[in-house]
Amino acid sequence: MKSNPFRTNSIRRPYLTATFAILAGSVSIASLISGAACESASTKTVGFTGDTIVTGDPRLQVAARGQVANGTVATTNRDGVRTGAVSSEDDAKIAKITSRLLESNHYAQVPINDDLSPKVFDAFVDTLDPQRVFFLQTDVDAFSTDYRDKIVGLTKQQGDFTAAQKMYALLLKRAEEQTQYANALLKTPAAFTFTGNDTYTVNREKATRPNNATEAQALWKQRLRYEFLQEKLAKEKPADIVKTLSRRYDRSLRSLRELDSDDIFELYMNSIAHALDPHTDYFGKATAETFAISMRLSLFGIGATLRSEDGYTVIEDIKPGSPAQKTKKIKAGDKIVGVAQGKAGEFVDVVDMKLNRVVEQIRGEKGSIVRLKYIPGDAADPSVREEVVIVRDEIKLEESEAKARLIVQPQPDGKALRLGVIDLPLFYQDPEKGKSCSADVALLLEKLKQQKVDGVILDLRRNGGGSLPEAIKLTGLFIKTGPVVQVRDAENNIRVNEDKDPAVAYNGPLVLLTSRNSASASEIVAGALQDYGRAVVVGDSSSFGKGTVQAVYDLGPIMEQNSASVADDPGQLKLTIQKFYRASGASTQLKGVVPEVVLPSIFDALKV
């Protein structure tokens, strides 16, 4: 393969995760949850020539991104507040740079052109309407005529994603029609008598779309009758069912209206990214921030778990010792109605605001002040409003840290079998603070050895991946030296990543637990320890089956270097840059790691 002068071979800090969950709220129709593997890279800045783009200095830090302006497609709610997608010159710049970066640096070296347009078009339509209950077939046909064969070219050359904006605007219109129809039908008791034999297909991902408004209403009616029957079988009263379903449809519509330009842009750019492979993603500002938090296992905020309920942001739980608890004022059940910055900032009304937007306002720099206006959960008068001043601080996310426990199992001979179990949900790493999972596991192993354990169980069943260097270091805790994983790039360059430290933290009996959720970095560790005969792997019939490496690039510095700066944070791009192979040379892609001992598992019957 001809060498690409715009590709870089600098040292990278890889992050590989096969599952990625948004920590606070969802930002898409179903969700903007990324499925997959990340690798942070540190590369040299070169430049931008023609259609070829190169990377800047990627970072995981993400600044706050403001609202976009100069909209051409927008909607307003009944209070005149802007909702929905708007176009922006900044978005156009991001779209062009991202498209060219995908073309230059993706492992497959796939041209980003209109050959991909049909695939991208179909994917975006299904992203907006995955259950095929909103768009009419005539809607899709009309958009297809205008955009199906040229949507990618428009994006790459002009930064144009008008098609995405128009599709979202029509989706919102169809959702409003459906909600209006549902609320009217709920006032007709005769529509909910169940005397005949009706059918409704719950999973409509492969179903045909309604051809016209009459077919759409028939579909909506059957769907509503199905939902009504589900509540009725749960012994709910008819009047309560009507209220529940009406609130459900109103809430769903409100969630769609809350999607803004950032959300639609992220969904659309991911339709392009996923056309290359399922683990390549565009991260908008909020998604990128959440990913960084998940890898650091910390954030700066107030230490409260929030949920959305009937338009209110409700405090579900308060972390012990957190800034929120130290106020001795707010508590679980309180409803946040306003957020203000600093000592004198004006309150922003957050009633009916999407949860992740509220979370963005509450998070902030360590030591900064945020003020909350709230309705006490135990207030007899709902008009009561109280205020609290909170100084933000670092919040640790201990739930993803490595943990150990001791199991003592009596044996027939009267002796007790002492087993140490280490649960590791994520291969985390925070270079700035020197925190890492390998260091934490090493300490836990030392403590277990002091407990005189007869064996150790390393539990990776919930581990979707994380830092590749950490996976290598953790493997090194159990072997002396040797290759751990091999990676191959688009130019067929092969690099062997080795454990070069002869020190061994634990050399006793070792069992490694895996499941279909064990992915990427987990598969590297499981595969290496299996190849060396160092551990007995026990679990589902196979692990997840991911064998690619991704790099996360911060688009901000890249765009600056290419004279395409934007006013707000442009987010990040995660793209596949390498394939990885086990120490033995075998691939885990689609195959996973097959354990020596297979346990019965529900996951083997599910699509994971």
Residue 156, token pair as written in the block: 């790459």
> Residue 493: phi, psi to the nearest 5?
-75, 130
Residue 141, token pair as written in the block: 């046909």
Nearest to 14 by CA among 576, 602, 608: 576
Question: Measured between alpha carbons, how far apart are the two ends of the chain, in Å?
Answer: 34
Q: Is 520 a catalytic residue?
A: yes
**One-letter identity of residue 77:** N
Tell me how far apart the alpha carbons of residues 304 and 604 are, in angstroms, rounded to a whole number.
Answer: 36
Placement of tokens 């509540």 in the chain: 231
| DSSP 8-state code for residue 260 | B
**One-letter identity of residue 517:** N
Tell me how far apart the alpha carbons of residues 232 and 171 are, in angstroms, rounded to a whole number.
Answer: 30
Query: 424 by DSSP, 3-state: which?
Result: coil
| DSSP 8-state code for residue 61 | -
Nearest to 298 by CA among 489, 486, 424, 435: 435
Residue 448, token pair as written in the block: 């277990």
Long-range contacts of 304-308 (CB under 8 A, 24+ apart): 304/330, 304/362, 306/24, 306/336, 306/355, 306/358, 306/359, 306/362, 307/355, 308/25, 308/354, 308/355
Tell me how far apart the alpha carbons of residues 599 and 515 are, in angstroms, rounded to a whole number.
Answer: 9
Find out whether 486 and 581 touch, Cβ atoms under 8 Å.
yes
Q: Is 438 a catalytic residue?
A: no
Catalytic residue among 156, 373, 546, 579: 546
Tell me how far apart the alpha carbons of residues 158 and 453 are, in angstroms, rounded to a whole number.
Answer: 63
Q: What share of the chain is helix, strand, coil (3-state, %, to 5)?
A: 35, 20, 45
Work out the number of other CB atoms within 10 angstroms of the CB of residue 101: 25
Tell me how far apart the alpha carbons of residues 554 and 531 are, in angstroms, rounded to a whole number.
Answer: 36
Catalytic residue among 139, 262, 334, 531: 531
Tell me how far apart the alpha carbons of residues 257 and 76 are, in angstroms, rounded to a whole number.
Answer: 8
* Helix residue spans in 351-458 (DSSP H): 355-362, 437-450
Question: Quick one: which H or E segment has residue 82?
Answer: strand 82-83
User: What positions carry a catalytic annotation?
Assistant: 520, 531, 546
